[in-house]
Every structure is written in structure tokens, then in C-alpha cells.
Amino acid sequence: QVQFVESGGGLVQPGGSLRLSCAASGSIFSIYVMGWYRQAPGKQRELVAHITRGGLRNYADSVKGRFTISRDNAKNTVYLQMNSLKPEDTAVYYCNAAGVVVTTWGQGTQVTVSS
């Protein structure tokens, strides 16, 4: 029902930082868990971070300590702060609900980490 538009991707050097934004077309207050997903070339899409309506967070082991997810329910926006980026973080990043079956995805935003 709710559509998401991701932005903020780009080309960064290893060790660099990037902040992704996810603008929702409607209220995300009713979505208990929001998440950031990524899909690297030739790889399966994976959930890298998620956050509950109340602000509880969890991360995939591969990004723990480097990524921070946040959400502003009033602004219907979700963010992903990415620090200490590695080449293996290269992927298309998507936001969507988490913990449910997702059938519709936005275009995502490309993150490329390369020297």
C-alpha cells in the first residue's frame, strides 16, 4: 500500500560514509517494523537493518557497529547512516516493511564502494 522512494546513494571510497533516506508516500506509523535491504550483484536480497515503531533496532552481523538505522514517524521517513564502508557493501539498497511478506519494491538507490 505504502510506496517508498530511496535516495542518497552514490560512489564512495572504502572507509567513507553515506546517509540514505527513504521517503514514504503515506504514514509509516502503522508499520511496526521498517527495514533496509540490499541486493548485491548476483546475490540474494538481504535485510541489513530494521527498526520498530518505538525505535528498537537490530542489524545484520555484517554491518553491526558501522550502520545506524533511524526513523521519523512524523515525517514518514527512514534513514540509514553508513560508516566505515567496505567494498562488500556495494549493492542496491531498498527500504520497506520488515517482518512481513514484501511483494512490491521501489527502485532502490545504488551504493558503490570502490577506490
- pLDDT, tens digit, for every residue of 73-109? 999 999 999 999 999 999 999 999 999 999 999 999 9
Output the pLDDT for position 1.
Answer: 79
pLDDT above 70 coverage of the chain, percent: 100
- CA atoms within 13 Å, Cβ hemisphere of 4: 28
Contact, 102 vs 39, CB < 8 A?
no
Contact, 38 vs 59, CB < 8 A?
no
Q: Which three cell numbers stand for residue 27?
A: 504514514
Q: Which three cell numbers stand for residue 28?
A: 509509516
> What contacts 89, CB < 8 A, 6 or more positions away?
38, 63, 82, 111, 113
Per residue in 18-33, pLDDT (tens digit) is 999 999 999 998 899 9
